[in-house]
Structure 1
């Protein structure tokens, strides 16, 4: 299926009829780890794994990846019960790194996703329930939104489930948890995400999806994953005319 880029009329109509909107955090709301700044956290995790004597659970690609979640998944999937203590240590490291990053990027305008504040305000004026559904720690998302004065617009912030990285997206768990808190089914729910795992999680949860592609790499990834529509900016959604009012 060919992706439709910047189909603002269709996306605006979809959001206008949404019963709730679920935002991924890193990308659709802010750039949590700009310019590869997650790499030191991933390196720290690998050192912890090696020091524990569990380096065998990481393959060559996982030893080079800058995403700390890659290390978490590997330890969870291959480590077994004997590495649960290590997994807890790694999760604490990742959560602390994510919270620190969230507080840092909240103070720098260049890492805020353009027009997202205006889009959130507009959805809130329309009384659309909002949620965050992220593979990051919920504490990190809450820290960022709180510093930006946006947390009050979100009914719930759902993040990585402690102790089970296997439930991170593309598993739909985080979306289903948000919908339970909102007391809504997937019908009429819309997710905004920026990765192929977001596309898959939304499909598995039965939730409509809008891709946010800030650059060509993101657009290609969303297209390959089967996203039907991708916007490259929220500007026209935040500022254009909507059906049924503001």
Structure 2
């Protein structure tokens, strides 16, 4: 049956990262456009100059950069609020991840508790789930970023909130994530992890880039969530 499915079968609680394992949040409304909007708003409305640099296509990274350069500045709270609005807008056209809805419904059918732990806003995740009629599968167990950006993954705060709200123990749970931040957060709590890596690294990236992307180490890997179907 394969180790990833065995791991999932043993779990009483499944924690999903949102952007990636559940959907492609910025499939139509690009992350680069979001960063341009955030940067333009800071410069024009608040006269705060923080060039995006390496975070030109990474809204969360840009938010963190501004917070690092101007800690405690009210502009950071305003920027986070504007990012949440942009994420909610993006959720209206987010592209479903193949087999994600089928997997979610299958897990609900066998009474597995489900939660989302994301660095995106919980409001955006809920908006997407409602649009796809999946909100009932997660109930109140959607946990996104708060105002303390130090608690974004790899800090395990959002995972802890899922465990608390579902009444689950780390060892009886499993997380499905697509980044090293997800993995590091799960490892800190002792939550078993399944890496969702949809691109075959060997055929899509150079040797140097491939080395950078091998964040998943020795944890079980799936290239499609379809590999987890059929409990």
1:215 equivalent among 187, 191, 199? 199
Report the Cα distance in structure 1 between the residues aligned to 2:179 and 2:97, rounded to whole angstroms. Answer: 15
- Mapping of 1:155-234 within 5 angstroms? 155=139, 156-161=141-146, 163-216=147-200, 220=210, 223-226=214-217, 228-234=219-225
Question: Which residue in 1 is equivalent to 2:126?
Answer: 142
Ranges in structure 2 where 5+ consecutive residues have no aligned partner: none
- Mapping of 1:86-125 within 5 angstroms? 86-105=75-94, 111-125=95-109
1:93 counterpart SS class: helix
Answer yes or no: is the 8 Å Cα contact 2:173–2:191 preserved in 1: yes
The 4+ residue runs of structure 1 with deviation greater than 4 A are: 217-222
Alpha-carbon offset, residue 226 of structure 1: 2.4
Answer yes or no: is the 8 Å Cα contact 2:52–2:62 preserved in 1: no
2:6 equivalent among 13, 20, 32? 13
Alpha-carbon offset, residue 202 of structure 1: 1.0
Answer yes or no: is the 8 Å Cα contact 1:199–1:226 preserved in 2: no
Structure 1 length as normaliser, TM-score? Answer: 0.83
Alpha-carbon offset, residue 96 of structure 1: 0.8
After superposition, the C-alpha distances for 1:129-153 in whole angstroms (9 at most, x for unaligned) are 0001111111111111111111111
Answer yes or no: is the 8 Å Cα contact 2:183–2:193 preserved in 1: yes
Question: Which residue in 2 is equivalent to 1:55?
Answer: 49
Answer yes or no: is the 8 Å Cα contact 1:200–1:225 preserved in 2: no
Report the Cα distance in structure 2 between the residues aligned to 1:61 and 1:98, rounded to whole angstroms. Answer: 20
Question: Which residue in 2 is equivalent to 1:5?
Answer: none
Alpha-carbon offset, residue 70 of structure 1: 1.1
Change (3 A) 1:188 1:79: same
Alpha-carbon offset, residue 60 of structure 1: 3.5
1:224 counterpart SS class: coil
* Aligned alpha-carbon RMSD (Å): 2.1
Question: Which residue in 2 is equivalent to 1:132?
Answer: 116
2:92 counterpart SS class: helix
Ranges in structure 1 where 5+ consecutive residues have no aligned partner: 1-7, 106-110
After superposition, the C-alpha distances for 1:111-160 in whole angstroms (9 at most, x for unaligned) are 21111111111111111100011111111111111111111111410011
Question: Which residue in 2 is equivalent to 1:76?
Answer: 67
Structure 2 length as normaliser, TM-score? Answer: 0.88
Answer yes or no: is the 8 Å Cα contact 2:153–2:185 preserved in 1: yes
Tell me the matched-pair count.
222
| Structure 2 residue 226 is the aligned partner of structure 1 residue 235 | yes
